[in-house]
Structure 1
Amino acid sequence: MFRETLTKEWLDAKRQGQLWWLSLIASLLLLLACTTGWQSYQSYQSDAKEVAQQEQMRWLNQGEKGPHSAAHYGIYVIKPATPLVALDDGLQEYQGNVVRLEAHTRNDGMFRTVQDNLPMARFGSLTPAFVLQVLLPLLILLIGYPMFSAEREQGTLKQLLASGVEPLQLFMAKCCVLFAISATLLLPVIVYLLFIQFGQSDTAKLASRSAGFFMVYISYVALWSIITIAMSCLLKSARRSLIALLTIWALSTLLIPKLAMNYSTHVYPLDSSQAFQNRLKREVYTEHREMALERFKQSLLQEYAVSSTNELPFDFAGARLQFGEQYADAIFDRLFGERLEQLQSQTDSYFLASLLSPMIAVQSLSMAFSASDFHHHQHFLAQAEQHRRMMQRVLNHNQRDHAHKNKGHYVANLSLWQQIPKFEYQPSAFTDLAHHYQVNWFSLILWLIASLLLGTFAVRKLTKEPLR
């Protein structure tokens, strides 16, 4: 009986002229978005690889100079992207994916792409994530809103139920048809996810991320399919169901995410990048720093039982530079830690709003699997900072151990520059950061359960339809 009901619903859906036009438009939009996303990813990866190679060559070919001069000479490192960024670039354009590593300073991400765009250009970008998160639910409700309500208006619904069709089977058949049509629109995404599995260095990590990415969106399609059919079943007319569904769509995809973002930034305000850098300088270069350096000097003189730094068995300037770096690093850790807590509070507040909007949960998980969100960016910044500290330690120790052996100004050469390994960012496995997204997983599951409960209520109401 269920098979016959399913076949009937499929034939009814095929007769809807607007179904094919809507599906074609959505497929073309998603295909176009995937194509442009892939091109952007390829361009970014090519630029990142070229910049990394040029920076490494610039570092190695800087010539002979003092180790501390080389520390100030510095090097730029750039964050690589996963292939999933082509589907969801997340915060890539807003975070700044290039970091300068140099002495005495811990820099933040720079060269944010969004700063180079005209304001109107920010509203004209068409990404697969936007199509999947905003336009796909709209398409689902436009296809599914008349599935029950139109039959009720035409009087065929009572005839179906009176003929012995089980309300649950009818409801499930309509849900399955709408879900199948909507899931078919994910075909460009599925093809891309399969395509990127070939020719990658870490296939296992990428495969797990791709599977998670797909599961999030297939759940999103199921969620909207059930809600659409349930609302069409509960409301008496197609017009009412369309208005109700459009209201739910507008609230969950447009209004609530915007309000949640504004609320998070208002409740947990953050200093500008320039103000934060000024604070770093104010708190590092103080009288306390000079006093700490003097105590360090006196401790060395006492330890080696000498009266002058010239009598030490190593170069005091190199030791002093390294102590200064460690002193500043402790302050950097504190101040950056405080700002990270503020950013984490903003993020947690926004994540909590996923209880009110399933799109926030899907958006957050989508960026997480694409490694284009806040937490993955912080992981990159942490590795870049560890590399910077390693650079300073190697350079300062070299000056400490060798400068006192030379008369005049000590200079290093290529042999020292080669001791600094090339920065190779090691992306984290998703499981290492999964604890940050517990609220989003909980919200998505909760929304799925809520949609099933709504569907159950609609089926119970449907059993009384012939009695009206």
Structure 2
Amino acid sequence: MSPNNLSKIIIVAKDEWRYWLRSKLAISVMAIGLLLTLSSVIVTSIDMMELSHARHELQDNAEETFVDQPDRHPHRMVHYGHYAFRTPAPLSILDPGIDAYTGNSIFLEGHRQNSAMFADQKQGTALTQLGSLTPAFILQTLAPLLLILIGYSSVSRERESQTLTYLLSQGTSGNTLILGKGLALLSVIGLILAPLAVAALISLHDGESITAVFAFILGYGLYLSVWALLVLFFSSALSKNSESFTALAFVWILLCVVMPRVASTTAATSVPSAGKLETDFAVIAELRKLGDGHNAADPAFDKLKASLLEKYNVDSIEQLPINYRGVIASSAEAELTHVLNEFAEQRMQTELSQTHVSRQFGWLSPMVAIRSLSMLVVGTSIETHHRFLREAEALRFEFVQALNKVHVEKLSYEDDMNRNKDAAATQKARVGAENWQVLEDFNFEVDKAKQRMQRSLAAFLQLLLWIVLLVVAIRTIGKRLI
């Protein structure tokens, strides 16, 4: 590009800004966009910092409460349970992702896999859900509309006012004119992204990777650039302001409202999932085949009983050097956990398959692409939630089996069997509170930045394809601009 053309592009951009500064609509729209972005960044940042602090404190309290329990029967502690909390990712101040829908804590107890609890969107009313204006929602949904309101007449205005012919006759090519208008729109995008960039950089203080921060800002820069190009395309292709605005409004509704719904509906239809009631019945049917871990006389454990008698060369379970009831509890928990994990993995694979189908619509809608990219880069995607479920389940199984080991080794079979005989027998069937030191510190963290970047690569490619196609289309129109 020659210096002469560059200077013309800058002159066109400055002239566009002069027009906007004289326009009450453009000034109002830019002010609203900046105010919304800035306020949402501040409010969401405060909320996420409070959540992070609260969840850290609750996790510590849960661990202290567990280990501070008095002398009990070991199996009572299995049912007493424990909590696992997921602290927000550093960049979740900008995009909470699916965290608001999936829940942030799990109650862990023996014989059960509970689902995550306390999802903000599930607890809120319809009005509070609509009022959740996160920075990601504003940039994904409202910022494109603001760009349309500012730039829909950028080129068509010149044609309507009959200044386009004059500009072209003065040696300003169609592509130069469009580039100048585009430069002005890019500067508006820079203003909108400024609060987001500052907040993203602040997340570095909380341990976020510079790679993730850069990718996050770049992703939204590409997304808004797609919309700037769409604005330029329709404003250049259509001869009237009203036509340009109508077409862009329709495109916004199609890409930002309709296509995400179509994507989710298609995913649910193409990869059907079993309902909760159906799954619960299937789980119950499988668990019934395992035997009752609370009943040492259950025939399902006859083989285990025989193997123990043979191993220790004794004639009855009363002669075993270990507590047979504790062995049964431990074995039953392992088998039960295996079955529950199989069903959990099936459910998670179904959810992941549905998500992958939905993400393919990013080739058809930049809104779907940026939504996927944003959650993947931040670490608030379905993959991160699934890892939280797996790590919480590993914690559950570990502490339950540790308590079962106490049951096996620290409590005699005779005392265990006679625990309900009288008050003295009940007291004798308890073990010391020092045995509750079985918990590992649980501190869930998002995936490494490299892994998040790999997952988001397809979404980046989707946005880049949109940009390439729109640039080619605009260049073609620019050559024919009259």
TM-score normalized with structure 2 length: 0.89
User: For the Cα contact (< 8 Å) 1:75–1:101, is it kept in 2?
Assistant: yes
1:343 and 2:346 matched = no
User: For the Cα contact (< 8 Å) 1:375–1:433, is it kept in 2?
Assistant: no
Q: Report deviation, 1:287.
A: 5.7
Q: Paired residue for 1:412?
A: 431
Q: How does 1:285-364 map to 2 (within 5 A)?
A: 285-286=288-289, 292-364=300-372
Q: Paired residue for 1:142?
A: 149
Q: What SS does the aligned partner of 2:108 have?
A: strand
Q: Report deviation, 1:340.
A: 1.2
Q: Paired residue for 2:421?
A: none
Q: Paired residue for 2:425?
A: none
- CA offset digits 1:75-97 (Å, max 9, x no partner): 11111002322211122221011
Q: Percent identity?
A: 25
CA distance in 1, matches of 2:435, 2:211: 40
1:119 and 2:126 matched = yes
CA distance in 1, matches of 2:290, 2:442: 35
Which amino acid is 1:149 matched to? S
Q: What SS does the aligned partner of 2:411 have?
A: helix
CA distance in 1, matches of 2:299, 2:362: 50
Q: Report deviation, 1:25.
A: 1.0
Q: How does 1:29-428 map to 2 (within 5 A)?
A: 29-198=36-205, 200=206, 202-203=207-208, 205=209, 207-273=210-276, 276-286=279-289, 292-404=300-412, 409-428=428-447
User: For the Cα contact (< 8 Å) 1:137–1:249, is it kept in 2?
Assistant: yes
Q: 1:114 to 1:278 in 2, by over 3 A?
A: farther
Q: Paired residue for 2:8?
A: 4
Moved more, 123-132 or 358-367: 123-132
Moved more, 113-122 or 96-105: 113-122
Q: Paired residue for 2:422?
A: none
Moved more, 208-217 or 405-414: 405-414
TM-score normalized with structure 1 length: 0.92
Moved more, 234-243 or 45-54: 45-54
Q: Paired residue for 1:452?
A: 471
Q: Report deviation, 1:436.
A: 4.3
Q: Paired residue for 2:460?
A: 441
CA distance in 2, matches of 1:275, 1:62: 38
Q: What SS does the aligned partner of 1:100 have?
A: strand
User: For the Cα contact (< 8 Å) 2:86–2:443, is it kept in 1?
Assistant: no
- CA offset digits 1:245-302 (Å, max 9, x no partner): 1111110001111122223224434345465445433321336675552222222222
CA distance in 1, matches of 2:458, 2:12: 40
Which amino acid is 2:375 matched to? M
Q: What SS does the aligned partner of 1:99 have?
A: strand
User: For the Cα contact (< 8 Å) 1:227–1:454, is it kept in 2?
Assistant: no
Q: 1:226 to 1:284 in 2, by over 3 A?
A: same
CA distance in 1, matches of 2:18, 2:437: 67
Q: What SS does the aligned partner of 2:155 have?
A: helix
Q: Report deviation, 1:134.
A: 0.8
- CA offset digits 1:112-160 (Å, max 9, x no partner): 2223222232222222111100111111122112111111122221222
Moved more, 74-83 or 450-459: 450-459
User: For the Cα contact (< 8 Å) 1:13–1:19, is it kept in 2?
Assistant: no
User: For the Cα contact (< 8 Å) 1:78–1:98, is it kept in 2?
Assistant: yes
Q: Report deviation, 1:434.
A: 4.8
The number of residues matched between the two structures is 459
Q: Report deviation, 1:368.
A: 1.8
CA distance in 1, matches of 2:129, 2:366: 24
- CA offset digits 1:169-215 (Å, max 9, x no partner): 322222111111122111111121222323x2x34x3x332222111
CA distance in 2, matches of 1:128, 1:241: 28
User: For the Cα contact (< 8 Å) 1:38–1:86, is it kept in 2?
Assistant: yes
Q: What SS does the aligned partner of 2:445 have?
A: coil
Which amino acid is 2:434 matched to? S
CA distance in 1, matches of 2:87, 2:356: 26
User: For the Cα contact (< 8 Å) 2:212–2:453, is it kept in 1?
Assistant: no
Q: Paired residue for 1:27?
A: 34
Which amino acid is 1:356 matched to? L
Q: Report deviation, 1:341.
A: 1.9
Q: Report deviation, 1:99.
A: 0.4
CA distance in 1, matches of 2:92, 2:150: 29
Moved more, 295-304 or 216-225: 295-304
User: For the Cα contact (< 8 Å) 2:8–2:176, is it kept in 1?
Assistant: no
CA distance in 1, matches of 2:336, 2:413: 28
CA distance in 2, matches of 1:90, 1:233: 36
Q: 1:372 to 1:426 in 2, by over 3 A?
A: closer
User: For the Cα contact (< 8 Å) 2:290–2:335, is it kept in 1?
Assistant: no
RMSD of the alignment, in Å? Answer: 2.2
Q: Report deviation, 1:64.
A: 0.6
Q: 1:424 to 1:413 in 2, by over 3 A?
A: farther
Q: Report deviation, 1:376.
A: 0.9
CA distance in 1, matches of 2:186, 2:54: 40
CA distance in 2, matches of 1:349, 1:162: 50
User: For the Cα contact (< 8 Å) 1:34–1:127, is it kept in 2?
Assistant: yes
Q: 1:357 to 1:442 in 2, by over 3 A?
A: same
User: For the Cα contact (< 8 Å) 1:81–1:371, is it kept in 2?
Assistant: no
